[in-house]
Structure 1
Amino acid sequence: MKKLIPQFGEARLQSRGDAFTTLARSIVGQQISVKAAQSVWDRFAAAAGGLSTRLSPGAVLKLDAPVLRGAGLSARKTEYLADLARHFEAGTVHVKLWQQMDDEAIIEELVAIRGIGRWTAEMFLIFHLMRPNVLPVDDLGLIKGISQNYFSGEPVSRAEAREVGEAWAPFRSVATWYIWRSLDPLPVDY
């Protein structure tokens, strides 16, 4: 960290968007390139009336599957976005309580939504809720960065990554961000 922080000292993590839009973007972007994800997102958001305003769960629920498919979404992602919208509409995610909830409780709420796994929930904690102490050991970039910066490029297990991450507490999210920057100096927004 002593070597990495001065290289990227001016850049900062920044939250953007509302919770629903952030999670919807993460679903749209799963398993496709950043460029393709932006193209699909733009068509999806336009169909939902969300290009100039926040994307609303109600607007997503009003869209039928053919419209969503026409925006470039797979059948599975269409189901995931509908489930996300239903959870927000029904209030089964406690957005207003998240600031008081611990990370694991939020992760538990989010992984109950189809299409959101632990990694996505952890990215949400880091990039949206700005939680300072998240160590996403399932993140391939983090593992690769720890390997390169701490183990001379030798493969690293999740247990070894956790051990390295212990020294970063209570700012594991920040350290993770610097590790990512060591691999790619351009930050990714979620």
Structure 2
Amino acid sequence: MEREIKLREAERWLSRRDTILRRLIGKIGPCGLKPMGSPYHVLLKSVIGQQLSLKAASTMEARVIGSFGSGKKFPKPIELGSVSLKKLRSAGLSLAKAETVKRIAAAYEEGNISDRKLRNLKDAEVLETLCSFKGVGPWTAEMVLMFALDRWDHFSLNDLILRKSIEKHYGIHRDSKKEILSFAEKFSPYRTIFSWYLWKDADGGEGW
């Protein structure tokens, strides 16, 4: 209930801030932003979904999870760490993604990273920590920040859908990254919610 109240407050703040966004909020309706799972789950989900369409990413994720039997969640780090690269490749993952998945599982199992540790870090520290793992880039880390850690003040400059949406609605070219980043600051402290509406308007989803 408290979350819903805060989301409605954010919507009102954003509506007052920008007329274009006010129209989007009116068209789309209440923000449905919510965590998509634990940091561990979203980290694996976003690694698998890198450079794939929403549909293809969802299919690939289901294949990987399905290869471990029943259930809708990724196996625990100790289980995932024991899976061979060959089995991950047979689920459709590229060698690079399969190696990254194994690397993440090992880091969790060894205690080098944990959901609790990530939740206690500041935004910039989360991005730095995750990007220190080979195969985990800025976009992947940002998805964890926004959709697992539920941080409400981040704009993913590495998401092409967001940049295209900025170009469509505000006329800033998608490749003018510095200008886009500067413009997005206008919507702080609710840049994640601003992003959610751009994603929703663009593809009916949440950037996934």
Q: TM-score, normalised by structure 2?
A: 0.81
Structure-1 residue corresponding to 2:13: none
Instruction: Work out the number of aligned pairs and report it.
Output: 188
Write the distance in 2 (CA, Å) between the matches of 1:32 and 1:155. Answer: 19
- Look up the equivalent residue of 2:201 and give its one-letter code: S
> Kindly, what percent of the aligned residue pairs are identical?
30
> How much has 1:18 moved relative to structure 2?
2.1
Q: Distance in 1 between matches of 2:160 and 2:198?
A: 11
2:7 corresponds to? none
Deviation per CA, 1:63-86: give whole Å up to 9, x if none.
112211211122111111100101
TM-score (norm 1): 0.88
Deviations 1:46-77 (A, max 9, x none): 33346245521111111112211211122111
Q: Which residue of 1 aligns with 2:180?
A: 161
Which residue in the other structure is 1:26 paired with?
46
Q: Structure 2 regions of 5+ residues with no counterpart?
A: 1-20
Q: Which digits, 9 at most, give the CA deviation of each residue in 1:78-119, with x for residues without a partner?
A: 111100101111121242133332101011111112221111
Tell me what 2:134 maps to. Answer: 114
* Alignment correspondent of 1:187: 205
1:173 is matched with 192
Q: How many Å separate the matches in 1 of 2:73 and 2:161?
A: 32
Unaligned runs of 5+ in 1: none
1:36-55 Cα distance to aligned partner (Å, 9 max, x none): 33333223213334624552
| CA gap 1:104/1:46 in 2 versus in 1, 3 angstroms | same
State whether structure 2 residue 61 is matched by structure 1 residue 41: yes
Aligned to 2:96: 76
Alignment partner, residue 86 of structure 2: 66
2:105 aligned with 1:85, yes or no? yes
Structure with greater helix share of residues: 2
Q: Do the aligned partners of 1:48 and 1:55 also contact (CA within 8 Å) in 2?
A: yes
Root mean square deviation of aligned Cα? 2.1
SS in 1 for 2:187: coil
CA shift, 1:2, in A, is: 1.7
Deviation at 1:11, TM superposition (A): 3.9
Alignment match, 1:105? 125
